[in-house]
Amino acid sequence: MLTGTLVALRAFERDDMKLLHEWQNDEELMRLARSFPDHTISMEAVLARYDKAVKGESFADRDYIIQEKSSGKPIGWGGISIHQWTRRATAGDIGLAIAEKAYRAKGLGTEVVGLLLREAFEQLNLHRVGWWTYAENEGSLALARKMGFREEGRVRDSVFFDNRYHDSVVLGLLKDDYERSKPERSR
Ligand SMILES: CC(C)(COP(=O)(O)OP(=O)(O)OC[C@H]1O[C@@H](n2cnc3c(N)ncnc32)[C@H](O)[C@@H]1OP(=O)(O)O)[C@@H](O)C(=O)NCCC(=O)NCCS
């Protein structure tokens, strides 16, 4: 369990699949979370996708349910995906979705990213963490920048939805940047 003040991140359980199925069929949420508003996924496919996570068999994909700490209510999901193509565990991407809308813009995302970064840098000893989103996802970009990520590039016209192409933005944070900005974040 990765425990903060307002939220805790815990492993996926089989009982969470119903919620993930609901969330991952939500058009507005999947537009923001995956640049994919028409994302549809069956329960069978959700079970297949997260089978390894539920069994604790995935090294590279660290998936977490975000829960409100005080109530234990699941409010979203997130995780760290360690790059495998590098053949070294030096870099990964993080992502998150506060799926329950009522819980957004209350500082929970900030805390979730803080917990994911602590895990990525201080436990997994990654050197670099990346963050991908599409160019109009203002909430995602605001949160990444707030946490010290720097924009490193734009992949032009890389995703298509809502009848047009959108740029993807990749931001990155190095362990050194993270260590340097730690005192700032804890103020
Ligand atoms: C993006 C998301 C994770 C942010 O989490 P959150 O709990 O709402 O964010 P916080 O309350 O911690 O706010 C973080 C900062 O981002 C800013 N922010 C949040 N949502 C914003 C929005 N829609 N537009 C502009 N800025 C926004 C806040 O003002 C805050 O900055 P501040 O502390 O300087 O005021 C959340 O809105 C979400 O899950 N959205 C849907 C899925 C998604 O986009 N996931 C990211 C995919 S890469």
Residue 87 alpha carbon to ligand 1 centre in Å: 33
Q: In the chain, what are the domain boundaries? A: 2-185
Residues with CB under 6 A from ligand 1: 29, 32-33, 95-98, 104-110, 133, 137-140, 142-143, 146
Whole-angstrom Cα distance, residue 32 to residue 150?
20
> How far is 141 from 135, CA to CA, in rounded Å?
8
Tokens of 43: 């329960």
> pTM for the complete prediction?
0.97
Evaluate whether 113 touches 94 at the Cβ level (below 8 Å): yes
How far is 113 from 50, CA to CA, in rounded Å?
21
pLDDT of residue 185: 66
CATH topology of domain 2-185: Aminopeptidase (3.40.630)
Ligand 1 centroid vs 62 CA: distance in angstroms? 21
Instruction: Provide the residue-wise pLDDT of the chain in tens; the chain has 187 residues.
Output: 999 999 999 999 999 999 999 999 999 999 999 999 999 999 999 999 999 999 999 999 999 999 999 999 999 999 999 999 999 999 999 999 999 999 999 999 999 999 999 999 999 999 999 999 999 999 999 999 999 999 999 999 999 999 999 999 999 999 999 999 876 766 5
Tokens standing for residue 47: 């079970």
Pocket test for ligand 1, best of 9, 34, 75, 104 (most atoms within 8 A of CB): 104
